[in-house]
Amino acid sequence: MTKEQRLKKRHSAEKRFRFYGLASIFIALLFVVILVHNIFSKGSSAFMKTAINVDVFFDQELLGIPNNPSKEQISDADLYDVAIESILKVYPASGLDQENALIDLFTIDAEIEIKNALIKNPNLIGKSITLEITASDDIDQLHKGNYPRELPEDRRRISDYQLQIYDTLVEDNKIVKNFNTYYFQNGDSRDPELAGIGGALVGSFYSIIICLLLAFPVAVLASIYLEEFAPKNKITDFIEININNLAAVPSIVYGLLALQILLATIQLPRSTALVAGITLALMTLPRIIIPCRASLKAVPPSIREGALAVGASKFQSVFHHVVPLALPGTLSGTIIGLAQALGETAPLILIGMVAFVVDIPSTPIDPSSSLPVQVYLWSESAERGFVEKTSATIMMLLSFLIVMNFLAVYLRQKFEKRWN
């Protein structure tokens, strides 16, 4: 083979390598676009809810409350009869079956929504008002175009009579779409139209705060000691090797550790943000120590030597000069570690955070859930409404992760000093 042939072969190999690299990047981006489009197309509708305009008359005899009632008296009042009477006026129904079919078009919390309107304005007693009552999950999915109404009646949860009512209400402009505040305010629910991420959002917030408060100072101090003060011997080498190994341990192992120590031995309350935060802190520790040590090692020795030359002690040279210069890399590593912890599911399942929690936790020791666990729970539900709720929660989780990763990149680029 001549020199020209070898040169031509080498150039062809370089072109093929570039093509394979660009093709790999293109295929990876294509799959990301398909995934994001699939999630957003299914989840965007979850931020809206379907409601039906209902004329409600607050009959004082049915309410059984005095004039000028207090909020406590209204809260204790039974508005079930008022709610049923108002719903049955929406469409003429004859017979118990048709009345039940009409009632099933509305959420089971219709009475609570009517009561909230009366609590907000007690002057409505004895008056009539048009309220937007949340529709049931089936009507909500039908109105959003996610329900196959062309199926035979025996294969649908919505009867032909209910479809007839729905079409009439649409023609009369009595069905509207509003922003779904329930999705952000409510906790979990068996009814998709009432389910929300409020409890999971607060639980994730508590967990990440506890994880940050525990993992960050311990990881930073451990990194400083190992990199700046610890003697170089077999013991420190053994510790460094194990830290690197712990960073690669599957997260479910930390869940098993927390299950045995935190729950079985110490007997901390199950399914709480406190246990979740401690578990995530154990998992995040090595993932913060590694970038923190790398940042400390990247500071030139001349910084340390210069500080010592002007009379600073070893402690002063480290904490006054080296640590501030290594802080951007440390912060970015910490944020990325917290972002990974935010998306963890396996260790939280083992400590009992898969429990059905309706109430929003007020403290870290209250039962709670988290965003990735909520995705796991809703993905196993059979109702159509939970499909869009699952995708919407994934969108929220991805948004938090993207923001945290951008913040890490921003901090590194803005404050990092480059050494030539």
My answer on whether 280 and 398 are in the same domain is yes
The CATH number covering residue 354 comes to: 1.10.3720.10
Query: For 81-108, how does the pLDDT look when each residue is reduced to its tens digit (9 = 90+)?
Result: 888 888 888 888 888 888 899 999 999 9
Calculate the average pLDDT of the chain: 88
* 30 within a domain of the structure (yes/no): no
User: Collapsing DSSP states into helix, strand and coil, what is residue 157?
Assistant: coil
My answer on whether 202 and 174 are in the same domain is no
My answer on whether 256 and 315 are in the same domain is yes
Query: Cα(274)–Cα(351) distance, rounded to whole angstroms?
Result: 11
Query: For 177-194, how does the pLDDT look when each residue is reduced to its tens digit (9 = 90+)?
Result: 999 999 999 988 889 999
My answer on whether 347 and 216 are in the same domain is yes
* 192 within a domain of the structure (yes/no): no
Identify the domain containing residue 96 by its residue range.
52-178
Query: Cα(145)–Cα(140) distance, rounded to whole angstroms?
Result: 9
What is the reported pLDDT for 146?
85
What is the reported pLDDT for 184?
92
Average pLDDT over residues 100-127: 89
* 43 within a domain of the structure (yes/no): no
My answer on whether 148 and 288 are in the same domain is no
* 68 within a domain of the structure (yes/no): yes
My answer on whether 218 and 163 are in the same domain is no
- In angstroms and rounded to an integer, the radius of gyration of the C-alpha atoms of the chain is 30
Query: For 2-56, how does the pLDDT look when each residue is reduced to its tens digit (9 = 90+)?
Result: 777 888 888 888 989 999 999 999 999 999 999 989 988 888 889 999 999 999 8
User: Collapsing DSSP states into helix, strand and coil, what is residue 417?
Assistant: coil
My answer on whether 210 and 84 are in the same domain is no
E strands along 258-326, which residues? none
Query: For 268-301, how does the pLDDT look when each residue is reduced to its tens digit (9 = 90+)?
Result: 988 899 999 999 999 999 999 999 999 899 888 8
Number of domains forming the structure of the chain: 2
My answer on whether 169 and 243 are in the same domain is no
What is the reported pLDDT for 68?
78
Residue carrying structure tokens 């305010």: 185
Report the predicted TM-score, pTM, of the whole model to 2 decimal places: 0.87
* 23 within a domain of the structure (yes/no): no
My answer on whether 150 and 212 are in the same domain is no
My answer on whether 229 and 171 are in the same domain is no
Q: Is residue 420 pLDDT above 60, yes or no?
A: no
Q: Is residue 398 pLDDT above 60, yes or no?
A: yes
Query: Cα(397)–Cα(405) distance, rounded to whole angstroms?
Result: 12
CB half-sphere exposure, 123, CA atoms < 13 A: 1
SS3 content of the chain, % helix, strand, coil (to 5): 65, 5, 25
CB half-sphere exposure, 344, CA atoms < 13 A: 31
What is the reported pLDDT for 419?
61
What is the reported pLDDT for 147?
84
My answer on whether 220 and 170 are in the same domain is no
Please enumerate in sequence order all residues whose Cβ is within 8 A of that of 60, keeping only pairs 6 or more positions apart, or say none.
Answer: 67, 125, 126
* 243 within a domain of the structure (yes/no): yes
My answer on whether 59 and 143 are in the same domain is yes
